Amino acid sequence: MWLALRRLRWARRVAASPLQACWREPLPGRRCDWRALSFLVCDAEMSSLDPRQGELLSLGWVTVAEGAVQLGTARHQLIASEHGVGQSATIHQIHDRELAAASPPAAAMAALLQAAAGKVLVLHHAPLDLAYLNRLSRQLYGASLLLPVVDTLALERAQRERRGSPLTPGALTLQACRAHYGLPDHGAHNALQDALATAELLLAQIARRSAGGRFTLGDLR
């Protein structure tokens, strides 16, 4: 409900943009079983942990539909940098040279929005990635994304807090969460591989909580 109202408020400003096209698809219902929903599991790599200083370097995403990761929907988008990669190149293994072949931020964002239409956006540690995505969206279209979001990290934290298990530092990293569900090391570290790793984590989280029964979007938040 909230999202729908907020979208209305910004509707005029985003007219004729990829964001408007994305909003045209109906919002997923909160009481819908998860197998009937589509999720776009996404990960972003950026040049700094501070959204005011850094910029997006790449985006990766993959769709979860009918209860399974649809591997053919995976996409990896390198984003053309305005300032060069700097320090984080060593972390993300992206070099200026590769980025020369990357798309401009507007094209990458348009592709993401096209994939996300009618879906639930899934991120591991959503606030950081969303800050970057929303900032770019405001620059390009004058409004935030206003997409329904599930955060696998928040989900895991809530679950552990409910159970009263103490959280050690690092217990909620993507790798640690996966290990908790017996998922194999995914090792690599680029946006698409992390998105894929997050998608598998989402499946595991849902499978453990639903025990094969009904599980809705409302249960995921």
Partner 1 sequence: MNRRPEDQPDALRPLVDLAPVADFLRRTLPFQDLPAAELEQVLAALRISYHVHGSTLLADAPEQGLRILRSGAVDLRDRDNTLLDRLGEGESFHLGGLNAGGDEVRAIVIEDALLYLLPDAAYQRLRQRNRPFDRYFSSQRSRRLRRAARYQPAPNTLLQDLRGCMSTDLLTVTPGDSLQTVARAMTARRVSSALVLEGDRLQGIVTDRDLRTRCVAEALPVSTSIAAVMTPAPETIDADSTLFDATLQMTRRGYHHLPVTEDGRLTGMITSSDLILARQDDPVYLVQHISRQDGAEGIRDLLAGLPQLVLQWHQAGMRAQQVGRILTAITDAVTVRLIQLAEAELGPAPAAWCWTAFGSQGRAEQLLGADQDNGMILADDARPEHAPWFAALAHKVCDGLDLCGYPYCQGEVMATTDSWRQPLAQWRETVRRWTDTPTPAAVMRVSIFFDLRAVYGDAGLCAALQDEMLHRASRNSIFLAALAANALDRRPPLGIFRRFVIERDGEHRDAADLKKRGVMPLTDIVRLHALAHCVTAVNTEERLQTLASERHLTIGDSRNLADALHCIQQQRLQQQCQQVLRGAEPDNFLNPRGLPTMAREQLRDAFTIIDQAQAALRLTYRAGLD
Residues lying near partner 1 in the complex (CB under 8 A): 60, 66-78, 100-103, 107-108, 111, 181-184, 186-188, 192-193, 196, 199-200, 203-204, 206-208, 211-212
Q: Which is nearer to partner 1, 36 or 71 (CB)?
A: 71
Answer for the pair 198, 124: CB distance below 8 angstroms, yes or no: yes
CB of 75 to partner 1, least distance (A): 6
Q: Which is nearer to partner 1, 50 or 66 (CB)?
A: 66
- As beta bridge partners, residue 216 has 33
Q: Which is nearer to partner 1, 89 or 99 (CB)?
A: 99
> How buried is residue 15: exposed, middle or buried, by Cβ count under 10 Å (0-12/13-18/19+)?
exposed
CB of 52 to partner 1, least distance (A): 26
Q: Which is nearer to partner 1, 147 or 203 (CB)?
A: 203
- Per-residue tokens: 47: 């040049």
Q: Name the strand (E) or helix (H) holding 43.
A: strand 38-46
> How buried is residue 142: exposed, middle or buried, by Cβ count under 10 Å (0-12/13-18/19+)?
middle
CB of 140 to partner 1, least distance (A): 16
Tokens 């985006």 correspond to 59
Q: Which is nearer to partner 1, 147 or 196 (CB)?
A: 196
Phi and psi of 116, rounded to 5°? -85, -10
Tokens 């809705």 correspond to 216
Count, in order, helices (H) and strands (E) of the chain.
9, 5
CB of 2 to partner 1, least distance (A): 30
Q: Which is nearer to partner 1, 126 or 192 (CB)?
A: 192
Q: Which 8-state DSSP code applies to residue 26?
A: P
CB of 74 to partner 1, least distance (A): 6
CB of 129 to partner 1, least distance (A): 19
